[in-house]
Amino acid sequence: MSKCCCGGKTILIYPCSGAANTGEIADQISRKLTKEGFGKMTCLASVGAHISGFVQSAKGAEENITIDGCSINCAKKILEHIGVTPTKSYILTEMEVEKGKTPVTEEIVNKISNKIKKGLSPKEEKENNAEGDKNSECSCCSC
Amino acid sequence: MKIEILGTGCPKCKKLHELSEEAVKELGVSAEIIKVTDINKIIDYGVMVTPALVVDGDVKVAGKIPSKEEITKWIEEK
């Protein structure tokens, strides 16, 4: 819950509820980001159940971030179902997590949490990495 | 009818309370307007952003101040 309704950006975080390792990692990332004050984890299932408080909170939040375990994209689709487009959507299988295989470790949770805090989408990260690679290959004397 | 204003009491909450009172007065309906500042009660409604307006248990808006016309419409719908 936001402490004050007048100050600070409201960022709500919706992890998917998946049964696989990907769902567990999404859940742990959301809890870590909440603990660190980056945003507030909220209940995706309640949005899906059309519980008015959760639906209206999604519509009223300044940012809604979905963290889906895989490309089925349940969290994003549930928000879109109520007419809300997430500000940022993350899919863990596009972020070095393999469904059914990647173990749920503090390391992977920290790594992805940091990426989310930087606000990089997987596409932006790829572009940033490509930019870095291009610079490192540059052989002109002005670099 | 029961109208609840959920929030910790900042200027936005006060504005929402004011608009609700005006809407009720203009409609001439009988309604109890209550301020809910207890965080636990606010969370029980599933509200994550305040201020929020609840009409007879149904959260109509959260995180923003609606217009008086919107509040009027929600009251009339009940």
In a domain, A55, yes or no: yes
Q: Which domain holds residue A123?
A: 11-131
Count of the separate structural domains present in chain A: 1
Say if A87 is an interface residue toward chain B (CB within 8 Å).
no
Domains of chain B: 2-77 (3.40.30.10)
How wide is the angle at C-alpha B32 spanned by C-alphas B8 and B16, nearest 5°?
40
Q: pLDDT tens digit string along A31-90?
A: 999 999 999 999 999 999 999 999 999 999 999 999 999 999 999 999 999 999 999 999
User: Per-residue pLDDT for A134 more than 80?
Assistant: no
Nearest to A1 among B11, B42, B58 (CB): B42
Residue A45 included in any domain: yes
Longest dimension (CA), chain B: 32
Distance between B25 CA and the closest CA of chain A, angstroms: 25
What DSSP character marks residue A104?
-
Q: Render pLDDT for B62-73 as a digit per residue (tens, 0 to 9).
A: 999 999 999 999
CB contact under 8 A, B59 and A56: yes
**Contact between A57 and B61 using a beta-carbon 8 Å cutoff:** no
Q: Is B17 a catalytic residue?
A: no
Q: Among partner residues B8, B10, B49, which is closest to A60 by beta-carbon distance?
A: B49
Q: Tell me which H or E stretch contains B21.
A: helix B11-27
Catalytic residue among B1, B10, B43, B49: B10
Is B13 considered catalytic here? yes
Beta strands in B1-78 (DSSP E): 2-6, 32-36, 52-55, 58-62
User: Helix, strand, or coil here: A89?
Assistant: strand
Q: Is A74 a member of any domain?
A: yes
HSE-CB for A55 with a 13 A CA cutoff:
14
* Chain B: closest CA distance from residue A41 (Å): 9
Does A111 score more than 50 pLDDT? yes
**CB spacing of A5 vs B43 below 8 angstroms:** no
pTM of the model: 0.85
